[in-house]
């Protein structure tokens, strides 16, 4: 998901985030979660939270770092596999 803000209001967001000692993206995420919690019945909202927790909580708190490290490992493994396959292909064709 991507959110585009005009520069003047984005500056206001950065100011709010700084006052809250957080990153602007974290401030937005928290604001969205609070709005969703207000707008939806507790059962619906809590079900969404529970589904996220079923995923092992990977995306909660410091979980983003774990997810990103897994993604990086997969990219490295994929590139390594491609290199090996390319090398084997070159050996087989020579």
Do 50 and 73 have their domain in common? no
User: The whole model's pTM is what?
Assistant: 0.56
pLDDT score recorded for residue 37: 94
Higher pLDDT, 91 or 36: 36
Are 1 and 46 in a shared domain? Answer: yes
Instruction: Tell me the mean pLDDT in the region 62-91.
Output: 61
- On average, the pLDDT of the chain sits at 78
8 with 39, same domain? Answer: yes
Domain with 49, as residue range(s), is 1-54
Residue 31 and residue 66 in one domain:
no
Q: Are residues 4 and 30 in the same domain?
A: yes
How many other C-beta atoms are found inside a 10 Å radius of the C-beta of residue 52? Answer: 14
Domain count, the chain: 2
Are 3 and 48 found together in one domain?
yes
pLDDT digits (tens, 9 = 90+) for 28-64: 999 999 999 999 999 999 988 888 776 655 555 555 5
**What are the structure tokens assigned to 3, written together?**
């959110």
HSE-CB for 60 with a 13 A CA cutoff: 9
Tokens matching residue 62:
């410091």
């Amino acid at each position: 998901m991507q959110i585009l803000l005009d520069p003047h209001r984005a500056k206001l967001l950065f100011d709010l985030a700084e006052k809250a000692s957080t990153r602007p993206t974290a401030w937005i995420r928290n604001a969205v979660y609070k709005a969703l919690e207000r707008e939806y019945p507790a059962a619906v909202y809590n079900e969404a939270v529970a589904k996220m927790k079923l995923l092992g909580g990977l995306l909660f708190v410091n979980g983003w770092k774990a997810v990103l490290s897994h993604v990086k490992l997969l990219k490295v493994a994929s590139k390594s596999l491609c290199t090996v396959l390319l090398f084997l292909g070159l050996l087989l064709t020579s």
